[in-house]
Amino acid sequence: MGAGVPPSVERSEAPDRVRDVSRQRLDPHVSLDQGAAVPSSSPVRVRPMVAEDVPQVIEIERRAFSTPWSGKAFRDLLEHDEVLLRVLEVPDGEAVDQEGEHRVEGSGAATPPEGEDSTARGAVAGYAVTWALGREGELANFALAERYRGRGLASWFLDALLAEIRERGVRTLFLEVRASNEPALRLYRTIGFQEVGRRSGYYTHPPEDALIMLKEL
């Protein structure tokens, strides 16, 4: 899954090394089923990605994408203020069960609760990369590890991300998704994204059109 802005929309350009890695998007086999709602309190949290997370992120990336980003690409993006890199963290070694028996901590804030040791990290269940460029944003990369799909975590993660970028002043969020990626399309439509265009032959491995979607925040 990724982001892009229709040619008619004016926008500021990100630095080349930021813009270049945004070209790879979700493959149609990736499942992001919404699943059951996540209960209202838990050790599950959204926080900023750090360099120590990259090995876990790359493991998810390689399983989710036919043309995965490199570890260097993620590490380079960590140096850019206009790029929000977030991870969905769960207790280390713990899976969400079929009933979603986890409490979601707070409102999805991207910082640890007051007094919590920020170095005590759990397992990375998913991650997101978003450009925040003035009033416009792009969801450039989003994936969950397969074992955590179908539990409501994808929609909760996106809700937390949307709340954060709205606070940063972003008012319009774009993304691109393979036209055949029905699980992702269902998820995006459920949280309010609308199709606004199509890029013919945008994807490779395999070749496919990209649907451009938009959400007003």
pLDDT tens figures, 29-73: 333 444 334 444 568 899 999 999 999 999 999 998 888 999 999
Give this prediction's pTM: 0.73
Q: What is the pLDDT of residue 42?
A: 61
CA distances from 8 to 89, 144, 197 (A): 37, 32, 11
Would you state the CATH architecture of domain 16-216? 3-Layer(aba) Sandwich (3.40)
Q: Which residues of the chain have pLDDT under 70?
A: 1-42, 93-120
CA distance 189 to 177: 12
176 is catalytic: yes
Q: Which of 148, 188, 202, 203 is catalytic?
A: 188
- Only one residue has tokens 């089923």, namely 33
Q: Which of 61, 164, 176, 208 is catalytic?
A: 176
Q: What is the dihedral of CA 37, 38, 40, 41, to 10 degrees?
A: 170
182 is catalytic: no
46 neighbors 109 (Cβ within 8 angstroms): yes
